[in-house]
Structure 1
Amino acid sequence: MSKKVAVLLSGCGVYDGAEIYETVLTLLRLDEQGVKYQCIAPDIPQQEVVNHLSGEVEADAKRSVLQEAARLARGDILALDQAQEEDFDALILPGGFGVAKNFSDFATQGAKASVEPQVKAFTQAFVSAKKPIGLMCIAPALSAELIGPGVVCTIGRDAGVSGALTEMGALHKSADADEIVVDQQHLLVTTPAYMMATRLSEAKVGIFKLVDKVLELIK
């Protein structure tokens, strides 16, 4: 039976959506491994829109997470409220500040963050079904909320983020861009990606390892 992986996107663009390089590397590795995938995004507004040239927030701009994520998926995207866990064998979340802004309020609330209800319910459906999940970059900061307390994960070596992650109930392990952390009990694989990487080739190593391990964990 062919495997199929859900790739959950938080928009398009590192500062206000899904990290583009991380997303493309994830899709590339899935394709190289002969695995089908479906990009998915919630049909919700972005918390803010950032000019990626200047880095400034465009105060009056409004964009849809689903429509922006469709750019990454070349239009082949499924609205989250139409996605069902039973159609997939695993779930992967690329990083980008959209995870901390659109999927949650981690960007402003830190350890007191809550997760967008659709995102949380969809992810926890995979947890309940004992299907593997891959989180990269800033996404592991939500591990305790998405997976449960005591989950083991990494966001790299950022003391501030790892401290908030620990306060939320996760167990953090430091790692470099070319490494993954595997929580066998919770079927969770994490890698720092651009929380540590300074080059595309560095991010590639950890992301490819994450994808390969997620696929290995599929029963």
Structure 2
Amino acid sequence: MLAALLRARGIPSPFGGRSLHRTAGTPAARVALVLSGCGVYDGSEIHEASAILVHLSRAGADVKIFAPDVPQMHVIDHIKGQPTPETRNVLAESARIARGDITALSHLNASDHDAVIFPGGFGAAKNLSSYAVDGDSCRVHQDVERILKDFNKAKKPIGLCCIAPVLAAKVIPGVEVTVGQEEELGGKWPYAGTAKSIRALGGEHCPKEVHEVHVDGRHRVVTTPAFMGHAPLHAIFDGIGAMVSVVLKLTGK
């Protein structure tokens, strides 16, 4: 009702994000961003998603945001770190990050975009795949699998950060990715065991630091560790920026 009243008076709605992810004039590249909810423990990692959007905006990209229209695996109380009895929808939760400007993942087609990027967060392992439950024998959401295969076949770049590279490892045989280091190193890399899963899933793991990226030129897949390691937020932001920069460069625009 409030949004309708504001429109009637010619006042832009504070709830609409429809100009936030669009750049005036000719965009540098058309990029699809795939979210998995809202919140590190049961959806997309919000800092990662926001950092990707900031770097894409600075580069002048035209961004469209997508998420699967499915129930979340579960809802986590982010204070207690425990599941709650709630049920939530991945698309509806992702819309919080997108400011409402979001489309169901089933409508994402590689032909409409120059690149696709996946932030991390446990939603990638819970809602975009079953990795959190099934580990190396996980399944990938059918639309996620379709999208990764289609972009790969079209030789269009794919960017992934944090835990999201497991999706590519499962779907693109022999892909090279990074999720950081392969040893915990005194707790600095608490998810170091994921590197073994990358290999078990059919990929190749390449150790990198938080501020670094790995570029698989053959498959045009760009990855960075992000919150897989403990590091200052600005270092994670810089690593994501490097990933976005390479992805955009690979589009040739």
Q: Deviations over 1:131-176 (max 9, x none)?
A: 0000100001222223x22111100124311111111111101111
- The residue identity in structure 2 corresponding to 1:110 is G
Is the 1:141–1:162 contact (alpha carbons within 8 Å) kept by the matching residues of 2?
no
Within 5 Å, give how 1:176-195 maps onto structure 2: 176-195=209-228
Aligned to 1:52: 78
Aligned to 2:92: 67
Aligned to 1:173: 206
User: 1:19 is matched with which residue: 45, 50, 55?
Assistant: 45
Query: Max radius of gyration: which structure?
Result: 2
1:205 shift after superposition: 1.0
Report the Cα distance in structure 1 between the residues aligned to 2:192 and 2:229, rounded to whole angstroms. 12
User: 1:100 is matched with which residue: 102, 108, 125?
Assistant: 125
Is 1:120 the equivalent of 2:120?
no
Report the Cα distance in structure 1 between the residues aligned to 2:46 and 2:232, rounded to whole angstroms. 13
User: 1:8 is matched with which residue: 34, 51, 55?
Assistant: 34
User: 1:142 is matched with which residue: 159, 167, 173?
Assistant: 167
Structure 2, unmatched stretches of 5+, are 1-25, 182-190
Report the Cα distance in structure 2 between the residues aligned to 1:142 and 1:33, rounded to whole angstroms. 26
User: Which TM-score applies when normalising by structure 1?
Assistant: 0.96
Is 1:39 the equivalent of 2:65?
yes
Q: Deviations over 1:13-34 (max 9, x none)?
A: 0000000000000000000001
1:55 shift after superposition: 0.7
RMSD, aligned CA = 1.1
Q: Deviations over 1:174-202 (max 9, x none)?
A: 11100000000000000000001432101
Is the 1:197–1:203 contact (alpha carbons within 8 Å) kept by the matching residues of 2?
no
The 3-state SS of whatever aligns with 2:174 is coil
Question: Which 4+ stretches in 1 moved above 3 angstroms?
Answer: none
The 3-state SS of whatever aligns with 1:57 is strand
Give percent identity, aligned residues only. 44
Is 1:212 the equivalent of 2:245?
yes
Within 5 Å, give how 1:80-95 maps onto structure 2: 80-95=105-120
The 3-state SS of whatever aligns with 2:82 is coil
User: Which TM-score applies when normalising by structure 2?
Assistant: 0.84
Report the Cα distance in structure 1 between the residues aligned to 2:135 and 2:99, rounded to whole angstroms. 33
Report the Cα distance in structure 2 between the residues aligned to 1:149 and 1:119, rounded to whole angstroms. 15
